Amino acid sequence: MSLSAVVVLVVLFLAAAYAVILYNGLVRLKHGVGKAWANIDVLLRQRHEELPKLVETCKQYMQHERSTLEQVISARNAVSDARQQGDISALGQAETGLRAGLGRLFALAENYPELRANESFRHLQQRISGLESGIADRRELYNESVNLNNVRIEQFPDVLLARAFGFGSAELLQFSETEKADVDLKTLFG
């Protein structure tokens, strides 16, 4: 075997090894996005199960706040539908509605001392607040995983393998501008 044939074989072997390393990196990033989504999904399911208990507890005390309670349940259902369909954009919008409804519900609960004194309500409020914090933390991790994936599949030479093997971009989980806006306390307590 000639020296030039050996050089060609070594170059081909190195190119193939490099392609395998790139491919495995893309696979790792794709599965990282899936794992990050699964972590959010767990918390969304837990919150989904806790919200009816909270609303039932509130119904006993908040007879005049039926529209707020119905808004929370409606938003809960919208989050569930978007989660089940894997529609990240719709989930962001539904989350915004749910968070607004929960904020209004917790603010209105301040007007009901008996409700605030109820052990079940306090427990559920703390549980849901904890889940909200967990969802926010995991959303940040999810968006970081999505960003790493999306950047990598657009970089050269990864883009060549990404296109060849059908690696696609993922969608960031974003909430609407109203979610990020300052809370108007007058409307909550007015």
**pTM, two decimal places:** 0.78
Spatial CB neighbours of 127, under 8 Å, sequence gap ≥ 6: 50
Domain 14-189 grouped into CATH 1.10.1370.30: no
What does the pLDDT profile of the chain (190 residues) look like in tens digits?
789 999 999 999 999 999 999 999 999 999 999 999 999 999 999 999 999 999 888 888 887 788 888 889 999 999 999 999 988 889 988 999 999 999 889 888 888 888 888 888 889 999 999 999 999 999 999 999 999 999 999 999 999 999 999 999 999 988 775 544 444 444 444 4
Name the DSSP letter for residue 156. Answer: T
Q: Determine whether 161 is exposed, middle or buried from the number of CB atoms within 10 Å of its CB (0-12, 13-18, 19+).
A: middle
Is residue 75 classed exposed, middle or buried when 0-12, 13-18 and 19+ CB atoms within 10 A define those classes? buried
What Cα–Cα distance (Å) separates residue 17 from each residue in 13, 14, 174? 6, 5, 38
What are the residue boundaries of the structural domains of the chain, listed by start?
Answer: 14-189
